[in-house]
Structure 1
Amino acid sequence: MKEPNVTELERDIIKEILNIGLARAADSFAAIAKDKVLLKVPDIQLIEVKELIKLVTKYESTHFIIQSDIKGDFNGATLMLFSDDHISRLSEVCLNMLEVQKGEVNAMQESLLLEISNIITGAMVTQLANILKANIYGSPPKAPKSHIADSLKDILVQHPLFQPLVFTVITKFTHNFKSVELPLLLFFDTSTFLKILDIIRTFDMDKKA
Protein backbone atom coordinates (compact mmCIF):
# COMPACT_ATOMS: atom_id res chain seq x y z
CA MET A 1 0.00 0.00 0.00
CA LYS A 2 1.51 3.33 -0.93
CA GLU A 3 2.12 5.93 1.72
CA PRO A 4 -0.87 8.23 2.15
CA ASN A 5 -0.34 11.76 0.90
CA VAL A 6 -0.70 13.98 3.96
CA THR A 7 -0.34 17.73 4.00
CA GLU A 8 1.40 19.53 6.85
CA LEU A 9 -1.95 21.03 7.86
CA GLU A 10 -3.58 17.58 8.04
CA ARG A 11 -0.71 16.31 10.21
CA ASP A 12 -1.24 19.28 12.52
CA ILE A 13 -5.00 18.62 12.68
CA ILE A 14 -4.42 14.95 13.56
CA LYS A 15 -1.87 15.95 16.23
CA GLU A 16 -4.33 18.47 17.63
CA ILE A 17 -7.18 15.91 17.75
CA LEU A 18 -4.90 13.47 19.57
CA ASN A 19 -3.71 16.19 21.93
CA ILE A 20 -7.34 16.97 22.86
CA GLY A 21 -7.86 13.28 23.64
CA LEU A 22 -4.62 13.16 25.61
CA ALA A 23 -5.55 16.24 27.67
CA ARG A 24 -8.58 14.34 28.99
CA ALA A 25 -6.39 11.30 29.63
CA ALA A 26 -3.84 13.47 31.47
CA ASP A 27 -6.53 14.74 33.86
CA SER A 28 -7.58 11.17 34.65
CA PHE A 29 -3.97 10.06 35.14
CA ALA A 30 -3.28 13.09 37.39
CA ALA A 31 -5.94 11.83 39.81
CA ILE A 32 -3.91 8.63 40.26
CA ALA A 33 -0.44 10.21 40.12
CA LYS A 34 -1.60 12.86 42.63
CA ASP A 35 0.22 15.51 40.65
CA LYS A 36 0.33 17.44 37.39
CA VAL A 37 0.43 15.34 34.23
CA LEU A 38 1.15 16.54 30.71
CA LEU A 39 0.55 14.38 27.63
CA LYS A 40 1.69 15.66 24.25
CA VAL A 41 2.12 14.25 20.73
CA PRO A 42 5.42 15.70 19.51
CA ASP A 43 5.85 13.47 16.49
CA ILE A 44 3.92 11.56 13.81
CA GLN A 45 5.71 9.17 11.50
CA LEU A 46 4.83 6.49 8.99
CA ILE A 47 7.19 3.57 9.41
CA GLU A 48 7.66 0.08 8.01
CA VAL A 49 6.40 -2.87 10.06
CA LYS A 50 9.94 -4.21 10.51
CA GLU A 51 11.09 -0.78 11.76
CA LEU A 52 8.20 -0.71 14.24
CA ILE A 53 9.14 -4.16 15.54
CA LYS A 54 12.80 -3.09 15.80
CA LEU A 55 11.78 0.04 17.73
CA VAL A 56 9.60 -1.93 20.14
CA THR A 57 12.20 -4.69 20.57
CA LYS A 58 14.74 -2.02 21.56
CA TYR A 59 12.50 -1.02 24.49
CA GLU A 60 11.64 -4.58 25.43
CA SER A 61 14.82 -5.37 27.39
CA THR A 62 14.66 -2.17 29.46
CA HIS A 63 10.93 -1.49 29.88
CA PHE A 64 7.78 -3.18 31.16
CA ILE A 65 5.35 -2.90 28.26
CA ILE A 66 1.56 -2.67 28.45
CA GLN A 67 -0.45 -3.10 25.24
CA SER A 68 -4.02 -1.95 24.60
CA ASP A 69 -5.66 -2.68 21.26
CA ILE A 70 -8.02 -0.19 19.59
CA LYS A 71 -10.91 -1.88 17.80
CA GLY A 72 -14.14 -1.10 15.98
CA ASP A 73 -14.05 1.31 13.02
CA PHE A 74 -10.31 1.84 13.58
CA ASN A 75 -7.56 -0.74 13.98
CA GLY A 76 -4.57 0.10 16.14
CA ALA A 77 -2.91 -0.21 19.52
CA THR A 78 -1.18 1.73 22.23
CA LEU A 79 1.99 0.59 23.94
CA MET A 80 2.99 2.17 27.23
CA LEU A 81 6.64 1.69 28.10
CA PHE A 82 7.50 1.78 31.80
CA SER A 83 11.16 1.83 32.84
CA ASP A 84 12.33 0.70 36.31
CA ASP A 85 12.48 4.36 37.34
CA HIS A 86 8.88 5.00 36.23
CA ILE A 87 7.70 1.91 38.10
CA SER A 88 9.54 2.99 41.27
CA ARG A 89 8.13 6.51 41.10
CA LEU A 90 4.57 5.35 40.38
CA SER A 91 4.77 2.70 43.11
CA GLU A 92 5.88 5.33 45.64
CA VAL A 93 3.24 7.87 44.59
CA CYS A 94 0.26 5.63 43.96
CA LEU A 95 0.86 2.60 46.17
CA ASN A 96 2.87 4.21 48.99
CA MET A 97 5.62 1.64 48.42
CA LEU A 98 8.93 2.91 49.74
CA GLU A 99 11.32 0.03 49.06
CA VAL A 100 10.78 -0.87 45.42
CA GLN A 101 12.81 -3.76 43.96
CA LYS A 102 14.13 -2.68 40.57
CA GLY A 103 13.68 -5.13 37.75
CA GLU A 104 10.79 -6.92 39.46
CA VAL A 105 7.10 -6.12 39.16
CA ASN A 106 4.74 -7.62 41.71
CA ALA A 107 1.04 -8.27 41.14
CA MET A 108 -0.01 -4.98 42.75
CA GLN A 109 2.42 -2.97 40.60
CA GLU A 110 1.30 -4.78 37.44
CA SER A 111 -2.34 -3.98 38.30
CA LEU A 112 -1.40 -0.31 38.72
CA LEU A 113 0.38 -0.18 35.33
CA LEU A 114 -2.58 -1.91 33.66
CA GLU A 115 -4.94 0.59 35.29
CA ILE A 116 -2.85 3.60 34.14
CA SER A 117 -2.77 2.23 30.60
CA ASN A 118 -6.51 1.56 30.74
CA ILE A 119 -7.25 5.12 31.89
CA ILE A 120 -5.03 6.79 29.30
CA THR A 121 -6.09 4.62 26.35
CA GLY A 122 -9.77 4.71 27.40
CA ALA A 123 -9.88 8.50 27.73
CA MET A 124 -8.09 8.98 24.44
CA VAL A 125 -10.31 6.52 22.55
CA THR A 126 -13.47 8.14 23.96
CA GLN A 127 -12.34 11.57 22.80
CA LEU A 128 -11.32 10.27 19.35
CA ALA A 129 -14.70 8.55 18.99
CA ASN A 130 -16.48 11.82 19.89
CA ILE A 131 -14.42 14.09 17.64
CA LEU A 132 -14.26 11.75 14.64
CA LYS A 133 -17.80 10.37 15.17
CA ALA A 134 -16.40 6.83 14.98
CA ASN A 135 -17.45 3.66 16.74
CA ILE A 136 -14.21 2.62 18.47
CA TYR A 137 -13.29 1.11 21.80
CA GLY A 138 -10.15 0.03 23.62
CA SER A 139 -9.78 -3.61 24.59
CA PRO A 140 -8.59 -4.34 28.17
CA PRO A 141 -4.85 -3.72 28.44
CA LYS A 142 -2.49 -6.65 28.82
CA ALA A 143 1.14 -7.15 29.76
CA PRO A 144 2.44 -9.46 27.03
CA LYS A 145 4.42 -12.32 28.53
CA SER A 146 6.06 -13.30 25.24
CA HIS A 147 8.01 -11.04 22.90
CA ILE A 148 6.00 -7.93 22.16
CA ALA A 149 6.39 -8.47 18.41
CA ASP A 150 4.49 -11.76 18.81
CA SER A 151 1.63 -10.05 20.60
CA LEU A 152 1.47 -7.35 17.90
CA LYS A 153 1.08 -9.96 15.18
CA ASP A 154 -2.71 -9.76 15.52
CA ILE A 155 -2.49 -6.25 14.18
CA LEU A 156 0.45 -6.72 11.83
CA VAL A 157 -0.30 -10.10 10.27
CA GLN A 158 -3.94 -9.41 9.47
CA HIS A 159 -2.75 -6.46 7.38
CA PRO A 160 0.49 -7.64 5.77
CA LEU A 161 0.63 -4.64 3.43
CA PHE A 162 0.05 -2.01 5.99
CA GLN A 163 2.48 0.61 7.00
CA PRO A 164 1.72 1.52 10.59
CA LEU A 165 1.44 5.15 11.49
CA VAL A 166 3.22 5.69 14.78
CA PHE A 167 2.51 8.60 17.07
CA THR A 168 5.12 9.01 19.74
CA VAL A 169 3.52 10.54 22.79
CA ILE A 170 5.64 11.96 25.57
CA THR A 171 3.89 11.69 28.89
CA LYS A 172 5.38 13.91 31.56
CA PHE A 173 4.25 13.73 35.11
CA THR A 174 5.76 15.78 37.88
CA HIS A 175 5.97 14.64 41.45
CA ASN A 176 7.68 16.75 44.09
CA PHE A 177 8.78 18.97 41.20
CA LYS A 178 10.65 16.11 39.53
CA SER A 179 9.54 15.46 35.97
CA VAL A 180 9.25 11.89 34.69
CA GLU A 181 8.90 11.09 31.00
CA LEU A 182 6.91 8.03 30.05
CA PRO A 183 6.96 6.97 26.39
CA LEU A 184 3.69 5.93 24.80
CA LEU A 185 3.49 4.65 21.23
CA LEU A 186 0.14 4.89 19.52
CA PHE A 187 -0.19 3.32 16.13
CA PHE A 188 -2.86 2.76 13.50
CA ASP A 189 -2.74 0.76 10.31
CA THR A 190 -2.79 2.61 7.00
CA SER A 191 -6.48 1.97 6.23
CA THR A 192 -7.42 3.50 9.62
CA PHE A 193 -5.21 6.48 8.91
CA LEU A 194 -6.91 6.93 5.52
CA LYS A 195 -10.32 6.81 7.24
CA ILE A 196 -9.17 9.50 9.70
CA LEU A 197 -7.91 11.62 6.79
CA ASP A 198 -11.26 11.25 4.99
CA ILE A 199 -13.11 12.40 8.11
CA ILE A 200 -10.79 15.40 8.51
CA ARG A 201 -11.19 16.32 4.84
CA THR A 202 -14.98 16.16 5.29
CA PHE A 203 -14.65 18.63 8.19
CA ASP A 204 -12.67 20.85 5.86
CA MET A 205 -15.31 20.66 3.10
CA ASP A 206 -18.05 21.44 5.65
CA LYS A 207 -16.19 24.57 6.69
CA LYS A 208 -15.83 25.71 3.07
CA ALA A 209 -19.48 24.95 2.26
Structure 2
Amino acid sequence: MSHINLNQIDNMQFDVLREIGNIGAGNATTALSQMINSKIDMKVPKVDLLEFKELSDIVGGAENIVVGILFTLEGQIDGMMMFMMDLSAARHLVNLLMGTTTDSQTTDFSDMELSALNEIGNIIAGAYLSSLSSLTNMLITSSVPYMSIDMSGAILSVPAIEFGKIGDKALLIETEFGDDIKAVNGYFILIPTLESYGAILSSLGL
Protein backbone atom coordinates (compact mmCIF):
# COMPACT_ATOMS: atom_id res chain seq x y z
CA MET A 1 0.00 0.00 0.00
CA SER A 2 1.53 3.29 -1.08
CA HIS A 3 2.29 6.22 1.15
CA ILE A 4 1.78 9.77 -0.01
CA ASN A 5 3.74 12.95 0.58
CA LEU A 6 1.16 15.66 1.25
CA ASN A 7 3.77 18.34 0.56
CA GLN A 8 4.22 17.03 -2.98
CA ILE A 9 0.65 16.24 -3.94
CA ASP A 10 -0.13 16.96 -7.61
CA ASN A 11 -3.12 18.80 -9.04
CA MET A 12 -4.96 15.68 -10.10
CA GLN A 13 -4.62 14.09 -6.68
CA PHE A 14 -5.81 17.29 -5.01
CA ASP A 15 -8.78 17.52 -7.40
CA VAL A 16 -9.80 14.02 -6.33
CA LEU A 17 -9.50 14.93 -2.64
CA ARG A 18 -11.54 18.08 -3.31
CA GLU A 19 -14.24 16.05 -5.06
CA ILE A 20 -14.34 13.62 -2.13
CA GLY A 21 -14.89 16.65 0.09
CA ASN A 22 -17.67 18.03 -2.12
CA ILE A 23 -19.58 14.76 -2.36
CA GLY A 24 -19.18 13.96 1.32
CA ALA A 25 -20.41 17.39 2.40
CA GLY A 26 -23.33 17.18 -0.03
CA ASN A 27 -24.41 13.80 1.35
CA ALA A 28 -24.08 15.06 4.90
CA THR A 29 -26.25 18.09 4.12
CA THR A 30 -28.93 15.85 2.58
CA ALA A 31 -28.89 13.63 5.67
CA LEU A 32 -29.18 16.68 7.93
CA SER A 33 -32.09 17.98 5.88
CA GLN A 34 -33.91 14.66 6.24
CA MET A 35 -33.17 14.53 9.95
CA ILE A 36 -34.69 17.92 10.72
CA ASN A 37 -37.38 17.55 8.05
CA SER A 38 -36.52 20.92 6.56
CA LYS A 39 -34.88 22.00 3.31
CA ILE A 40 -31.19 22.73 3.76
CA ASP A 41 -29.16 24.40 1.03
CA MET A 42 -25.40 24.11 0.81
CA LYS A 43 -22.87 26.29 -0.97
CA VAL A 44 -20.04 24.59 -2.81
CA PRO A 45 -17.53 23.69 -0.07
CA LYS A 46 -14.04 25.13 0.12
CA VAL A 47 -11.54 22.30 0.34
CA ASP A 48 -7.92 22.69 1.35
CA LEU A 49 -4.99 20.75 2.75
CA LEU A 50 -3.81 22.69 5.79
CA GLU A 51 -1.30 22.25 8.55
CA PHE A 52 -2.83 21.56 11.97
CA LYS A 53 -1.60 24.90 13.29
CA GLU A 54 -3.61 26.71 10.60
CA LEU A 55 -6.93 25.02 11.34
CA SER A 56 -7.90 26.99 14.44
CA ASP A 57 -7.57 30.29 12.54
CA ILE A 58 -10.12 29.06 10.00
CA VAL A 59 -12.71 28.43 12.71
CA GLY A 60 -12.31 31.82 14.36
CA GLY A 61 -9.07 31.52 16.30
CA ALA A 62 -7.64 29.18 18.92
CA GLU A 63 -9.72 30.72 21.74
CA ASN A 64 -13.05 30.63 19.89
CA ILE A 65 -15.49 28.28 21.63
CA VAL A 66 -16.76 25.63 19.24
CA VAL A 67 -18.59 22.32 19.22
CA GLY A 68 -16.29 19.54 18.05
CA ILE A 69 -17.47 16.00 17.31
CA LEU A 70 -14.59 13.58 16.86
CA PHE A 71 -14.60 10.08 15.37
CA THR A 72 -11.85 7.54 15.02
CA LEU A 73 -11.83 5.87 11.59
CA GLU A 74 -11.27 2.15 11.30
CA GLY A 75 -11.54 -0.61 8.70
CA GLN A 76 -9.60 -0.09 5.48
CA ILE A 77 -9.00 3.57 6.39
CA ASP A 78 -7.30 4.60 9.61
CA GLY A 79 -7.37 8.09 11.05
CA MET A 80 -9.78 10.59 12.53
CA MET A 81 -12.60 12.76 11.35
CA MET A 82 -13.99 15.83 13.08
CA PHE A 83 -17.02 18.01 12.50
CA MET A 84 -16.80 21.49 14.01
CA MET A 85 -19.14 24.46 14.20
CA ASP A 86 -19.40 27.55 16.35
CA LEU A 87 -21.94 27.84 19.14
CA SER A 88 -24.48 29.95 17.23
CA ALA A 89 -24.49 27.39 14.41
CA ALA A 90 -24.94 24.55 16.91
CA ARG A 91 -27.77 26.41 18.62
CA HIS A 92 -29.54 27.01 15.29
CA LEU A 93 -29.34 23.33 14.31
CA VAL A 94 -30.62 22.22 17.72
CA ASN A 95 -33.51 24.69 17.44
CA LEU A 96 -34.39 23.30 14.01
CA LEU A 97 -34.23 19.70 15.19
CA MET A 98 -36.18 20.23 18.40
CA GLY A 99 -38.60 22.85 17.13
CA THR A 100 -37.44 25.38 19.73
CA THR A 101 -36.65 29.09 19.40
CA THR A 102 -33.92 29.54 22.00
CA ASP A 103 -31.86 32.68 21.38
CA SER A 104 -28.78 31.89 19.30
CA GLN A 105 -26.60 33.77 21.78
CA THR A 106 -27.52 31.31 24.53
CA THR A 107 -24.45 29.11 24.88
CA ASP A 108 -25.69 26.70 27.54
CA PHE A 109 -27.18 23.45 26.25
CA SER A 110 -29.43 21.15 28.25
CA ASP A 111 -28.66 17.42 28.43
CA MET A 112 -31.37 16.77 25.84
CA GLU A 113 -29.90 19.42 23.53
CA LEU A 114 -26.41 17.98 23.93
CA SER A 115 -27.81 14.58 23.02
CA ALA A 116 -29.43 16.13 19.94
CA LEU A 117 -26.12 17.78 18.97
CA ASN A 118 -24.34 14.47 19.31
CA GLU A 119 -26.94 12.82 17.09
CA ILE A 120 -26.58 15.60 14.49
CA GLY A 121 -22.84 14.95 14.44
CA ASN A 122 -23.41 11.23 14.18
CA ILE A 123 -25.77 11.59 11.22
CA ILE A 124 -23.51 14.08 9.41
CA ALA A 125 -20.35 12.02 9.86
CA GLY A 126 -22.14 8.78 9.00
CA ALA A 127 -23.38 10.24 5.71
CA TYR A 128 -19.94 11.62 4.95
CA LEU A 129 -18.19 8.34 5.60
CA SER A 130 -20.84 6.42 3.68
CA SER A 131 -20.16 8.50 0.58
CA LEU A 132 -16.40 8.06 1.01
CA SER A 133 -16.89 4.32 1.38
CA SER A 134 -19.08 4.17 -1.76
CA LEU A 135 -16.63 6.26 -3.81
CA THR A 136 -13.59 4.20 -2.88
CA ASN A 137 -15.34 0.84 -2.49
CA MET A 138 -13.55 0.50 0.83
CA LEU A 139 -14.90 -0.59 4.20
CA ILE A 140 -14.79 2.36 6.60
CA THR A 141 -16.26 2.30 10.07
CA SER A 142 -16.18 4.91 12.80
CA SER A 143 -16.06 4.89 16.55
CA VAL A 144 -18.81 6.24 18.78
CA PRO A 145 -18.63 10.04 18.46
CA TYR A 146 -16.90 12.02 21.16
CA MET A 147 -18.32 15.53 21.53
CA SER A 148 -16.64 18.44 23.24
CA ILE A 149 -17.50 22.12 23.65
CA ASP A 150 -14.25 23.97 24.19
CA MET A 151 -11.77 26.38 22.61
CA SER A 152 -10.95 25.29 19.07
CA GLY A 153 -7.25 25.13 19.90
CA ALA A 154 -7.90 22.62 22.68
CA ILE A 155 -10.21 20.47 20.55
CA LEU A 156 -7.82 20.44 17.59
CA SER A 157 -4.89 19.49 19.81
CA VAL A 158 -6.30 15.94 20.09
CA PRO A 159 -5.79 14.93 16.43
CA ALA A 160 -2.68 17.14 16.20
CA ILE A 161 -0.98 15.18 18.98
CA GLU A 162 -2.20 11.85 17.64
CA PHE A 163 -1.19 12.40 14.03
CA GLY A 164 1.49 15.08 14.27
CA LYS A 165 4.09 12.35 14.40
CA ILE A 166 3.14 10.97 10.97
CA GLY A 167 2.17 14.13 9.15
CA ASP A 168 1.16 17.70 9.81
CA LYS A 169 -1.70 18.21 7.35
CA ALA A 170 -5.43 17.61 7.36
CA LEU A 171 -8.09 17.87 4.67
CA LEU A 172 -10.40 20.74 5.63
CA ILE A 173 -13.84 20.93 4.02
CA GLU A 174 -15.47 24.24 4.91
CA THR A 175 -19.13 24.48 3.96
CA GLU A 176 -21.96 26.92 4.48
CA PHE A 177 -25.42 25.44 4.80
CA GLY A 178 -28.70 26.76 5.99
CA ASP A 179 -32.45 27.14 5.72
CA ASP A 180 -34.60 30.17 4.94
CA ILE A 181 -33.76 31.74 8.30
CA LYS A 182 -30.02 31.42 8.74
CA ALA A 183 -26.89 30.10 7.06
CA VAL A 184 -24.19 28.56 9.23
CA ASN A 185 -20.67 27.33 8.65
CA GLY A 186 -19.60 23.79 9.33
CA TYR A 187 -16.12 22.36 9.09
CA PHE A 188 -15.26 18.76 8.26
CA ILE A 189 -11.70 17.83 9.06
CA LEU A 190 -10.56 14.54 7.61
CA ILE A 191 -7.29 13.19 8.99
CA PRO A 192 -6.41 9.81 7.50
CA THR A 193 -2.99 8.35 8.06
CA LEU A 194 -0.59 8.90 5.17
CA GLU A 195 -0.96 5.24 4.26
CA SER A 196 -4.74 5.72 4.13
CA TYR A 197 -4.44 8.78 1.88
CA GLY A 198 -2.43 6.56 -0.48
CA ALA A 199 -5.07 3.83 -0.27
CA ILE A 200 -7.89 6.29 -1.05
CA LEU A 201 -6.10 7.64 -4.12
CA SER A 202 -5.08 4.15 -5.25
CA SER A 203 -8.68 2.96 -5.02
CA LEU A 204 -9.61 5.77 -7.43
CA GLY A 205 -6.89 4.83 -9.91
CA LEU A 206 -4.27 7.41 -8.92
Give the TM-score normalised by the residue count of structure 2.
Answer: 0.79
> Identity of paired residues, percent?
18
SS in 2 for 1:9: helix
Determine whether 1:184 maps to 2:191: no
Determine whether 1:139 maps to 2:160: no
1:114 is displaced (CA, Å) by: 1.0
Instruction: Number of aligned residue pairs: give it.
Output: 197
In structure 1, the residue matched to 2:18 is: 15
SS in 1 for 2:204: helix
SS in 2 for 1:169: strand
User: Whose RCO is larger (CA < 8 A, sep 6+)?
Assistant: 2
Q: 1:125 aligns with which of 123, 129, 133?
A: 129
In structure 1, the residue matched to 2:158 is: 151
Residues 1-209 of structure 1 aligned to structure 2 (within 5 Å): 2-33=5-36, 34-38=38-42, 40-47=44-51, 49-52=52-55, 58=61, 61-100=64-103, 102-144=106-148, 147-149=154-156, 151-152=158-159, 155-156=162-163, 160-174=165-179, 177-188=180-191, 189-202=193-206
1:142 is displaced (CA, Å) by: 1.4
1:132 is displaced (CA, Å) by: 0.7
Deviation sequence 1:9-38 (CA, Å, 0-9, x none): 222222223322332222110023312232
Q: Is the 8 Å Cα contact of residues 39 and 169 (structure 1) preserved in structure 2?
A: no
1:51 is displaced (CA, Å) by: 4.0
How many angstroms apart in 2 are the aligned matches of 1:156 and 1:55? 19
1:172 is displaced (CA, Å) by: 0.7
Rg comparison, structure with higher value: 1
Deviation sequence 1:84-138 (CA, Å, 0-9, x none): 3223322322112223471212111111111111111111111211211212112
Give the TM-score normalised by the residue count of structure 1.
Answer: 0.78
Q: Is the 8 Å Cα contact of residues 64 and 82 (structure 1) preserved in structure 2?
A: yes
How many angstroms apart in 2 are the aligned matches of 1:8 and 1:152? 26
1:83 is displaced (CA, Å) by: 2.2
Provide the alpha-carbon RMSD of the alignment: 2.8
